[in-house]
Amino acid sequence: MKATIKDVASLAKVSIATVSRVLNNQDNVSLETKRKVQLAMHKLDYQPNVLAQRFVRNISHLIAVVIDERGMTAMDQFILVLLQGVFKVTKPRGYDVILIPGTDLDVNYKSLVAMFNQNMYDGVILTSPTKNQLPYLNLLQAKVPVVVSGRVPEGIPISTIDNDNVKATYVATKYLLELGHRRIAYIGGPSYYWVGEERLNGYKKAISEAGLTISPELVVEDSFDFAGGYRSLQQLLACGADFTAICVYNDPMAIGTIKGLKDRGYKVPGDVSVIGCDNLPIGMMVEPALSTIQSNISQVGEITAKLLFEALEGGESEVTHNLLPLELVKRESCRILA
């Protein structure tokens, strides 16, 4: 049988209260007894039962991270990078991370609340920025500590952290404009998601500010993967669109776009320039186009977790909406190989 606090106490000839004190290294224990206890713990190979600790403290020491189908899709798998950031914060604090696969937050928020009420986790990080208010309201009403990595509907008092998606495509498009391009197309991800909408807005903003009009036939959207990029390009060409450059939602799509262009005999860059926004801090681009905007997902994860702990520890914490700056990384065609 595994040694308990009692065994340690009797071996060290002290009370269990004293053992508990050194276990949680409180300072009201004499050095001598402390040593005695530690010796006993060592001899018995004593390991505190965290299940008991969690029970008596009423703290699960578990952080839930909800990942939707976007996160589970290997194609746009920012979630792993996000988790790296989360771990950086949770691990030192003795918290573990449980993953909640939820294909649809709208459907599953009830079980999220139930899980919280059963003490299955202490706080939750959402990565499924649904535009529906109801899930958030229910979470709030149940007083579930929650932070969102992404965006949240207007008027919902929940802290969020996200990349500055508007700026991403804004900067990218502006870069193309500065190079002299005037007919710039945009290939976007699904505008069902915030990200998709925001990145589209960044493109529009840059175009408008340049005094140009936004041609509807130059703007298409599709799924945020390779195939989506390829299809989008076909769609652009099918409508007889005329452009010298394309701003693309993300890297996988950009790769598809470039492939499509080449299949049609275009030179890239040359006939057409392509710029993509990159979700990951690695060189995934097969055909780096002009340059790429890099977002720091890992940092998003880190800050998300930090905010959650503030809410956990500090009780009432301020609601903040953080936009992380983006890095504009210019890549040469062979930079990847350096």
**Interface residue list for a second copy (CB under 8 A):** 2, 47-52, 54-55, 58, 60, 62, 71-72, 74-75, 77-81, 83-84, 87, 91, 96-99, 101, 114, 117-120, 226-227, 230-231, 255-256, 259, 280, 282-284, 286-287, 336-337
Q: Rounded to 5 degrees, what are φ and ψ at 81?
A: -70, -40
> Please, are residues 136 and 156 in contact by the beta-carbon 8 Å criterion?
yes
Query: At its nearest, how many Å lie between a second copy and the CB of residue 183?
Result: 25
Contact set with DNA (CB under 7 A) = 2, 4-6, 13-18, 20-21, 23-24, 27-30, 32-34, 47-49, 52-53, 55-58
Select the binding partner of residue 287 from a second copy, DNA, none (C-beta < 5 to 8 A, by kind): a second copy
Select the binding partner of residue 227 from a second copy, DNA, none (C-beta < 5 to 8 A, by kind): a second copy
Select the binding partner of residue 62 from a second copy, DNA, none (C-beta < 5 to 8 A, by kind): a second copy
Cα 230 vs. chain centroid, distance in angstroms? 26
Query: At its nearest, how many Å lie between DNA and the CB of residue 100?
Result: 22
Instruction: Using alpha carbons, list the distances in angstroms from residue 127 to 31, 69, 110, 337.
Output: 48, 10, 16, 33
Instruction: Using alpha carbons, list the distances in angstroms from residue 324 to 150, 301, 308.
Output: 11, 11, 17
3-class DSSP assignment, residue 77: coil
3-class DSSP assignment, residue 155: coil
Select the binding partner of residue 253 from DNA, a second copy, none (C-beta < 5 to 8 A, by kind): none
Query: At its nearest, how many Å lie between a second copy and the CB of residue 286?
Result: 5
Query: At its nearest, how many Å lie between DNA and the CB of residue 94?
Result: 12
- The residue among 71, 143, 79 whose CA lies nearest residue 102 is 71
3-class DSSP assignment, residue 263: helix
Identity of the residue, 96 or 104, whose beta carbon is nearer to DNA in the bound complex: 96
Select the binding partner of residue 255 from DNA, a second copy, none (C-beta < 5 to 8 A, by kind): a second copy
CB atoms within 10 A of CB 75: 14
Identity of the residue, 52 or 238, whose beta carbon is nearer to DNA in the bound complex: 52
Q: Rounded to 5 degrees, what are φ and ψ at 324?
A: -80, 140
Identity of the residue, 177 or 308, whose beta carbon is nearer to a second copy in the bound complex: 308
Nearest-Å Rg of the Cα atoms of the chain is 26
> Please, are residues 203 and 318 in contact by the beta-carbon 8 Å criterion?
no
Give strand pairing partners of 174: none
> Which position has the token pair 């903003």?
205
Query: At its nearest, how many Å lie between a second copy and the CB of residue 21?
Result: 19
Identity of the residue, 49 or 333, whose beta carbon is nearer to DNA in the bound complex: 49
Identity of the residue, 67 or 219, whose beta carbon is nearer to a second copy in the bound complex: 67
> Please, are residues 125 and 68 in contact by the beta-carbon 8 Å criterion?
no
Select the binding partner of residue 159 from DNA, a second copy, none (C-beta < 5 to 8 A, by kind): none
Identity of the residue, 106 or 263, whose beta carbon is nearer to a second copy in the bound complex: 263
Distance CA 202, CA 59 (A): 43
Select the binding partner of residue 30 from a second copy, DNA, none (C-beta < 5 to 8 A, by kind): DNA
